[in-house]
Amino acid sequence: MKQIILVVNCGSSSLKLALFDENENKLASALAERLNRNDAFAKIDDDNRTVVLPNGANHKQALQALVSTLRERHLMPGTPTSIGHRVVHGGETFREAILIDNDVVKAIEDCASLAPLHNPVALAGIEATLEQFPDIPQIAVFDTAYHQTLAPRAYLYALPESYYRDWSVRRYGFHGISHFFMANEAARRLDKSPATTSIISAHLGNGCSITAIKDGLSVDTSMGLTPLEGLVMGTRSGDIDPSIFSYLCSRGMSLSEVDRALNHESGLLGISGQTNDMRSLCELADQGHEPSALAIEIFCFRLAKYVGAMMASLSCLDALVFTGGIGENSSRVREKTLSHLALLGFNMDADMNAHHGRYSDGRIDDAASRFPVLIIPTNEELVIAREAARLAAIS
Active site residue 143: yes
How many Cα atoms are found within 13 Å in the side-chain-facing hemisphere of 152?
Answer: 6
Residues 6+ apart with CB under 8 A from 279: 329, 330
Contact 59, 35 (CB under 8 A): yes
- Among candidate residues 152, 15, 142, the one with its CA nearest the CA of residue 86: 142
Degrees, nearest 5: CA angle 297-155-232: 15
- Options 45, 103, 143, 366, the catalytic residue: 143
What's the maximum distance between 2 C-alpha atoms anywhere in the chain?
64
Taken in order 8, 12, 15, 16, the sign of the CA dihedral is negative
Name the residues annotated as catalytic: 143
